[in-house]
């Protein structure tokens, strides 16, 4: 007998998906969005986000490694804007990289984000949009903002496919929807 997997249905444009519910802490579950390898979903999400970002003027898109890279790439194509990936490990070729620590809800462990020196030169004095697949706690977003500030870039918008949890907390994020958090007993 196979175990029934609970899921949460979503739809972006004509693309529908069922997101598996996953326990991230005792009694707390979230819907897991994994866009890696899901080209039709990424294209639909990018098209919708590009439409919502049309009123913003920006020089670059910034994302954190790894799950949101396909979204940043497709959004770069759709908006004809370069994108930068903040890496999770330092490589020697990155030169004088900026760094900031964050804790993601899905990993639960501290991670460091690095901005490559070549990308620092690209965004210094420019306007940027921060891009993520899902904004849950805001810790990654906060770290991305800190690095942008240190790099001399101005953040004009934060964009995500979904925000998660209390929708009012994310009213300033350009998003396609909000995912609930399931807390046992509520």
Residues 6+ positions from 4 with CB-CB distance below 8 Å: none
Q: Does residue 86 contact residue 108 with C-beta atoms inside 8 Å?
A: no
Spell out the per-residue pLDDT of the chain, length 186, in tens.
567 788 999 999 999 999 999 888 899 999 999 999 899 999 999 999 999 999 999 999 999 987 899 999 999 999 999 999 998 878 888 788 888 887 665 556 678 888 898 998 889 999 999 999 999 888 888 889 999 999 999 999 999 999 998 888 999 999 999 999 988 876
Structural domains in the chain plus CATH codes: 35-177 (3.40.50.2020)
Strand 181-183 vs strand 28-31: parallel, antiparallel, or unpaired? antiparallel
Q: Does residue 61 contact residue 85 with C-beta atoms inside 8 Å?
A: no
Side-chain-facing half-sphere of 160: CA atoms under 13 Å: 24
pLDDT value for 4: 77
Q: Of 12, 11, 175, 20, nearest to 106 (Cα)?
A: 20
pLDDT value for 136: 86
Element containing residue 77 per DSSP (H, E): helix 69-79
pLDDT value for 98: 86
Alpha carbon distance 21, 30 (integer Å): 5
């Amino acid at each position: 007998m196979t175990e029934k997997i609970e899921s949460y249905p979503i739809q972006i444009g004509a693309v529908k998906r069922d997101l598996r519910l996953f326990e991230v802490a005792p009694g707390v579950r979230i819907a897991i969005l994994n866009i890696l390898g899901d080209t039709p979903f990424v294209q639909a999400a990018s098209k919708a986000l590009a439409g919502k970002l049309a009123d913003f003027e920006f020089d670059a898109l910034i994302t954190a490694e790894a799950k949101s890279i396909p979204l940043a790439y497709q959004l770069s194509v759709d908006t004809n804007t370069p994108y930068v990936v903040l890496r999770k490990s330092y490589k020697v070729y990155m030169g004088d990289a900026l760094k900031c620590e964050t804790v993601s809800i899905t990993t639960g462990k501290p991670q460091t984000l690095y901005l490559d020196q070549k990308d620092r030169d690209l965004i210094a004095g420019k306007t940027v949009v921060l891009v993520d697949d899902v904004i849950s706690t805001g810790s990654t977003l906060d770290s991305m903002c800190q690095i942008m500030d240190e790099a001399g870039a101005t953040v004009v918008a934060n964009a995500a496919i979904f925000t998660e949890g209390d929708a009012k907390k994310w009213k300033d994020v350009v998003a396609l929807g909000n995912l609930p958090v399931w807390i046992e007993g509520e």
